[in-house]
Amino acid sequence: MPLFKTLYYGHLSPYASCLMSVITANTSPFLFLLTLDSIVNHLEEGPLRTILYADDIALVADNQEELEEKVQLWQRALADNGLRLNVKKTKFISSEQCAGSILDCQGETIEKVEEFRYLGSDLSEEGSVDQAVRGRINAAWLKWRESTGILCDRRCSRTLKGKLYRTVVRPALLYGSECWALGKAQERQLHAAEMRMLRWACGWTRRDRVRNEDVRAVMKTAPIQLKMREQRLRWYGHVLRRPEDHPTRLALDFEAPGKRPRGAPRKRWKDVIKRDLAEVGATADDGLDRMKWRQITRTADPATARD
């Protein structure tokens, strides 16, 4: 640890010089994080303007010119610290109509895309979650097909199949759903995908005239809508318990500039949370108590419900 402190503050002591030759590959990730942390502190970017996770960096700007300037600034800062920006993997999305392109320091063009996957979640320039929902449904079907050796085996009990679905398939379907502002159409898509998986695992089709409630009772699985509500409220309570200057709290209280369009504007995440709170009979103040919040928001599967 003294060595890392010495490197972080930008100078070498005799002790550090002796140990430089014995640094192994195990310290490389830690040194990489120290380098990025030093670059961020030097650039003095705000928490909602630069988002980092491992070696993935997301830059936020108000216009195309500012974004190009930030990209070039980061590219020079990385080069000064022995790192290189991978231009081929760098993309940019704009919520406004941008006809031009962004150039890096070497004059290479950075591709503009309409959709982009960041940390496993699909982002759209329109701000909708349609692509994210479709991506999660495809990921869940992939997990389902990988588990067909049990899910489609008539020798396996439906209790075992339900447990496999809840632990393997459903997490892939719900990944990132705590941040979605879902509408009725997206909820129907997720509901239809889940019911098809459960019915096929039971060996039933719609022609068998088995109700959805009976399928869920056999597989001991709660409705997907309730599990998504549980995840949203769990994340909401986690954010509420953060300090007011934490990036997640700043993002929660952030208001986009400009006026919302007339008519029926697109549903915001706050609007979905407000509806969820009304459904469970809770308030934001309840989220400050972790244990109480867990009891209020938890939706247990029939297999794990307790009297």
Pairing mode, if any, of strands 109-112 and 50-53?
Answer: unpaired
pLDDT tens profile 22-57 = 444 556 777 777 777 788 777 766 667 788 887 788
pLDDT higher than threshold 80 for residue 293 = yes
Residue 69, SS3 per DSSP: helix
**Boundary (domain end) residue, out of 124, 148, 173:** 124
The number of domains in the chain is: 3
pLDDT higher than threshold 90 for residue 222 = yes
Look at 68 and 186; give whichever has higher pLDDT: 186
Percent of the chain surpassing pLDDT 70? 85
Tell me if 234 sits within 8 A of 35, measured CB to CB.
no
Q: Where are the alpha helices (DSSP H) in the chain?
A: 2-8, 14-19, 28-43, 64-80, 130-146, 148-151, 158-164, 170-174, 184-202, 212-219, 224-240, 247-252, 269-280, 290-297
Look at 129 and 96; give whichever has higher pLDDT: 129
Domain of 92, in residue numbers: 29-124
Residue 154 CB contacts under 8 Å (≥ 6 apart), including other chains: 203
**Boundary (domain end) residue, out of 67, 97, 124:** 124
pLDDT higher than threshold 70 for residue 306 = no
Q: What is the mean pLDDT of the chain?
A: 83
Mean pLDDT to the nearest integer, 77-81: 85
Tell me if 49 sits within 8 A of 69, measured CB to CB.
no
The verdict on 205 and 279 lying in the same domain is no
What was the pLDDT predicted at 64? 81
The verdict on 39 and 117 lying in the same domain is yes
What was the pLDDT predicted at 19? 45
Alpha-carbon distance of 183 to 180, in angstroms, equals 9
What was the pLDDT predicted at 74? 86
Check: pTM over 0.85? Answer yes or no: no
In a domain, 281, yes or no: yes
In a domain, 284, yes or no: yes
